[in-house]
């Protein structure tokens, strides 16, 4: 059975035909993989992960709730999309812009809006420098990056003296390890790993490197306190209530300045037999979104920050500015 947060997301997806759909594009360099070989690999994954061989069902005992029911006959569909070889890094962005319109019907927003995504990355050497600096400062990479993002987005909001920026976090605290008995890593069931949103006055946002690292330590302490208080184990119920607010017209007064989800270090290798794993890029359906959403992930030693917005509600220029200013702040913190 799904928890309250997952149920709310499912209701949103049902009501708005795909709202908040998320995925990853994996980039492999090597011999062509046939559909038959790919189907075999997907079948192996389905046997390993129960959630991949489960169908979403309406819970007959509880209204507006859902459950996953295992079905060993379920075969995931694979869609082959033609593209030019030189377009392997960009074609899916154009393809997604069209396909998200097929899955999302939100009054007139689908006619005038689309998701825009910008990516900021640090190479392996700079990522290593950031990790070492975070260790010396006794903070997590998530805290440091969010400090840089908060300082960056402050320069993009209203300059009024009483402006307050509400920041919503999703942190990479693995709730599976806190379950009794613990849930194995290969279980892909939905896990909530969040802390409660909080508000910080715009006037308290630092502008120098020392202040940004101090803010990172403050964020790190807030996260640790939240984890120690077991907030991440109860947040599913709380988020379930908050997600209910997405039904109907959005209330901007209840929305954060931006949202963030940290995926941490993802368990991939650089080489898979004859195929080189060159990277992965997330995408998300944000057509109904009214504030920026960001994701942080590290793959094979490369830190990537993803900035997502709903254009023209959030024009691509704003998303790009958010990315550029965040990366600038992050480089300042590393070089300090």
Provide the pLDDT confidence category of residue 127 given band limits of 50, 70 and 90: very high
pLDDT surpasses 50 at 126: yes
Tell me the angle at which helices 141-154 and 209-228 cross, rounded to the nearest 10 degrees. 120
Q: Note down the domain range covering 193.
A: 4-37+86-335
Over residues 22-70, the pLDDT tens digits come to 778 888 889 988 989 999 999 998 888 887 888 888 888 888 788 888 9
The answer to whether residue 173 scores a pLDDT higher than 70 is no
Question: Which has more pLDDT, 194 or 226?
Answer: 226
CATH number at residue 142: 3.30.559.30
Name the pLDDT band for 104 (thresholds 50, 70, 90).
Answer: very low
pLDDT at 159: 60
- The confidence band for 106, taking pLDDT boundaries of 50, 70 and 90, is very low
pLDDT at 152: 94
Q: Give the residue from 117, 130, 173, 116 showing the smallest Cα distance to 329.
A: 130
Q: What does the pLDDT look like over 259-312, one tens digit per residue? A: 788 877 887 889 988 999 988 888 777 776 778 888 899 999 999 999 998 888
156 vs 104, higher pLDDT: 156
Do the Cβ atoms of 336 and 210 come closer than 8 Å?
A: yes
Range with the largest mean pLDDT of 4-18, 57-71, 186-200, 241-255: 57-71
Residue 105 has pLDDT above 50, yes or no: no
Residue 237 near residue 3 (C-beta atoms within 8 A): yes
Q: Give the distance from CA 315 to its chain's centroid.
A: 20
Any domain includes 56: no
51 lies in a domain? no
Q: In whole angstroms, what is the distance from residue 298 CA to residue 121 CA?
A: 9
Find, among 265, 234, 225, 228, the residue nearest to 142 by Cα.
265
State the chain's mean pLDDT as an integer. Answer: 79
Q: Confirm if 296 and 145 have CB atoms less than 8 A apart.
A: yes
Using alpha carbons, select from 149, 157, 139, 118 the residue that is nearest to residue 308: 118
- For 170, counting Cβ atoms within 10 Å of its Cβ (0-12 exposed, 13-18 middle, 19+ buried), the class is buried
Residues 62-86 have a mean pLDDT of 83
Say yes or no to pLDDT of 333 above 80.
yes
Rounded to whole angstroms, how far apart are CA atoms 188 and 184?
9
Distance CA 321, CA 325 (A): 6
**Does residue 53 sit within a domain?**
no
> Is residue 130 situated within a structural domain?
yes
Which of the 8 DSSP states describes residue 169? -
CA distance 14 to 246: 12
Count the domains in the chain: 1
Assess if residue 156 is contained within a domain: yes
pLDDT band at 183 (very low <50, low <70, confident <90, very high): low
Specify the pLDDT at position 62. 85
Q: What is the mean pLDDT of residues 149-157?
A: 88
- Residue with the bigger pLDDT between 315 and 214: it is 214
Reply yes or no on whether the pLDDT at 193 is more than 60. Answer: no
> From residue 39, how far is each of 36, 43, 45, 182 by CA, in Å?
5, 6, 10, 31
State mean pLDDT over 165-190.
58
Instruction: Say if 187 falls within a structural domain.
Output: yes
Q: Is 277 a member of any domain?
A: yes
pLDDT category, 228, cuts 50, 70, 90?
Answer: confident
Whether residue 246 lies inside any domain: the answer is yes
| 63 or 158: which leads in pLDDT | 63
- Give me the residue label for tokens 């997952």: 6
Task: Give percent helix, percent strand, percent coil of the chain, each to the nearest 5.
Answer: 45, 20, 35
Residues 48, 53, 58, 59, CA torsion sign: negative
Q: What's the average model confidence in pLDDT over 234-244?
A: 63
Element (H, E) at 128: helix 124-137
Q: What percent of the chain has pLDDT over 90?
A: 26
């Amino acid at each position: 059975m799904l928890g309250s947060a997952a149920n709310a997301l499912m209701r949103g997806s049902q009501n708005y035909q795909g709202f908040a759909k998320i995925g990853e594009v994996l980039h492999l360099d090597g011999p062509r993989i046939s559909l038959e070989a790919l189907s075999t690999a997907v079948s192996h994954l389905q046997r390993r992960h129960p959630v991949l061989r489960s169908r979403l069902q309406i819970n007959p005992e509880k209204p507006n709730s859902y459950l996953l029911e295992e079905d060993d006959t379920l075969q995931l569909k694979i869609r082959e999309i033609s593209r030019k070889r030189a377009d392997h890094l960009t074609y899916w962005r154009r393809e997604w812009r069209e396909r998200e319109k097929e899955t999302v019907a939100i009054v007139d927003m689908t006619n005038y809006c689309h998701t825009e995504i910008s990516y900021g990355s640090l190479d392996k050497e700079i990522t290593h420098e950031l990790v070492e600096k975070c260790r010396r400062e006794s903070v997590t990479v998530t805290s440091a990056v969010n400090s840089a993002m908060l300082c960056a987005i402050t320069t993009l909001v209203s300059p009024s003296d009483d402006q307050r920026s509400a920041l919503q976090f999703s942190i990479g605290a693995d709730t599976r390890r806190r379950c009794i008995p613990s849930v194995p890593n290969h279980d892909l069931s939905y896990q909530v790993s969040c802390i409660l949103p909080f508000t910080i006055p715009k006037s308290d946002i630092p502008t120098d490197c020392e202040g940004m690292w101090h803010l990172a330590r403050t964020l790190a302490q807030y996260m640790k306190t939240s984890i120690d208080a077991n907030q991440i184990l109860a947040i599913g119920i709380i988020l379930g209530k908050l997600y209910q607010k997405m039904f109907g017209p959005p209330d901007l007064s209840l929305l954060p300045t931006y949202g963030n989800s940290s995926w941490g270090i993802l368990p991939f290798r650089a080489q898979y037999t004859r195929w080189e794993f060159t990277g992965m890029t997330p995408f998300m359906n944000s057509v109904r979104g009214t504030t920026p959403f960001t994701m942080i992930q590290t793959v094979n030693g490369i830190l990537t920050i993803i900035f997502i917005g709903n254009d023209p509600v959030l024009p691509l220029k704003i998303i790009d500015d958010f990315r550029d200013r965040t990366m600038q702040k992050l480089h300042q913190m590393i070089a300090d």
